[in-house]
Amino acid sequence: MCRVLRRIPNRPGVMIGAERNEADRNGMNGAHTKRLAQLSERLASARQADMERYRRFFMVLGERMASARAEEREQARLHAKRFNAFDYLRPDELGLSRIIADLLNPNGPHGQGASFLERFRNLVGSDRWPADGDVRAGDLGAKVEPERMTHGGRFLDISVELPSSGRGPACIAIENKPYAADGERQIEHYLEFLKREYGGRFLLIYLSGHGGMLSEWSLPRHACKDGLAIMSFCPGALADDDEDACPLRLPFALTDWLQECRRLCDVERLRWFLHEFETFCHKTFGGIVTTASEQKEVRDFILASDDNVKTALAVIETWPCTRKNVAGRFLEVLRKRLGDKLHVCDDLQIHSGFPDSATSKPKNGVWAFRQAWRTGFGGALPLVCLNHSSKAKYWFVGVCVDPDTGDADAKERLKECLRERLQKNEADLKGSFESTDWPWYRYLEEHRDWEPLLANLHRETQEPNELTDYFCGQFVEPAKLIIPIIDEVL
């Protein structure tokens, strides 16, 4: 039987098959588009509200800070809170070690007997201290020796030998590293020396400017770490290591101990000195540039409302990216200035970058090189660098070359030439250091920490001025000597 297919005529308002599906899809798309438009509108409104809150936050906070600073200027005549004697003394590593040693010395000129030393030992804690209870820190028999010579001809910065009523003496030693780097296997040598002298009755404290673990150059990865502890100058100087990465860290900073000493002391002159030293450590190693009254003004303003707390959290979360942006733009300005100064040859390349991680060195700062150097060193490319040790802190200038690749003989010749020529030149580049990947480098005397400088660096990205000139000079002076040396080694 044949089936007759009837054609349904199109009538107004009647849709069939594909026409109905297409209409349904158009309706759904229209609804989605409308909902997306509404969502986009709400997001834009929320962003606008956030931007207005941020703008209002900084405007009001800026006004309060300006008022606080104006009041502080009025009070400066009586209190001079920004004045610090250590800013004029420019204490180096040796000077800081002498101060700490004198404070630990029960017979020191402070006249407080063994109270400072005893408090230091108590802060260290019994779980970090391997000596028995017979060790006496609370009498005047402790022997404090700055620059104690070891059997290998090196010098421990501070040695505090503590008497005991039974077994032999115990020792607390401090290796002070506020600015400089370690020598090759330096801490490993000190640990071996102290173990020979005191058995297990010693503690070697590595007092670190950056607050983090020392390098493998000083203490190889698999070396024995028994008797070693890490201490920072102030809590703000702590590196970003977690407790697992730096399990040796002491539970207090040097400034905590200074604060305790000030509390124990009744001599006003000494209390003033301890306060100055404490403030200097916070400023130099913790990057703190605001006074206590300014900090209180900011804290009170943030805690005044929930919105202020939310905005402050947003600032904290954004700060690493902001620091990276400012530092990167300033380094680009510096790179261009260096290109004008180091016009020694057309094939000299100068690059800049700021990944904000010391692990990405040497490409974390400004670096200069010739491509021809790579061939001459068997694939290892020497770089003349301005670099930093950690989070835009502890800037130094030096020569970097990969220790694991290239011609070992050529790299050794370079190291010898740098040591001989740079130590003798009239620009006085003495006091430099070397490691496996840095055959020569030295830390900058000033502006080692960029954190307090970021506002000025931001300004100099628009108008290069004193800071640009300073860092440019710190790079150019050694670079003009180093570049010909590398050329000669080839």
Question: 69 Cβ partners below 8 Å, 6+ apart?
Answer: 294
The whole-angstrom separation of Cα 90 and Cα 88 is 6
The tally of CA atoms less than 13 A away on the side-chain side of residue 450 is 29
Q: What is the mean pLDDT of residues 1-23?
A: 50
Phi, psi of 25 (to 5 degrees): -65, -45
The whole-angstrom separation of Cα 206 and Cα 275 is 23
Phi, psi of 82 (to 5 degrees): -85, -10
Identify which of 367, 475, 465 has the alpha carbon closest to the alpha carbon of residue 427.
475
Q: What are the boundaries of each domain within the chain? A: 37-79, 88-290, 319-489
Token reading at 236: 């703000």
Q: Inform me whether the pLDDT recorded for 53 exceeds 90.
A: no
> Which tens digits make up the pLDDT trace of 122-173?
898 866 666 666 666 566 788 999 999 998 788 999 999 988 777 788 899 9
Of all residues in the chain, the percent with pLDDT exceeding 70 is 74
The whole-angstrom separation of Cα 96 and Cα 93 is 5
By mean pLDDT, which of 54-58, 87-91, 465-469, 471-475 is the weakest?
87-91
User: What is the value of pTM for the model shown?
Assistant: 0.65
Q: Inform me whether the pLDDT recorded for 5 exceeds 50.
A: no
Residue 2 carries which side chain, given as an amino acid letter?
C
Question: 405 Cβ partners below 8 Å, 6+ apart?
Answer: 378, 379, 380
CB 418 within 8 A of CB 401: no
Query: From the centroid of its chain, how far is CA 286?
Result: 9
> Which tens digits make up the pLDDT trace of 364-420?
899 999 988 988 888 888 999 999 877 777 788 989 888 778 888 888 888 888 877
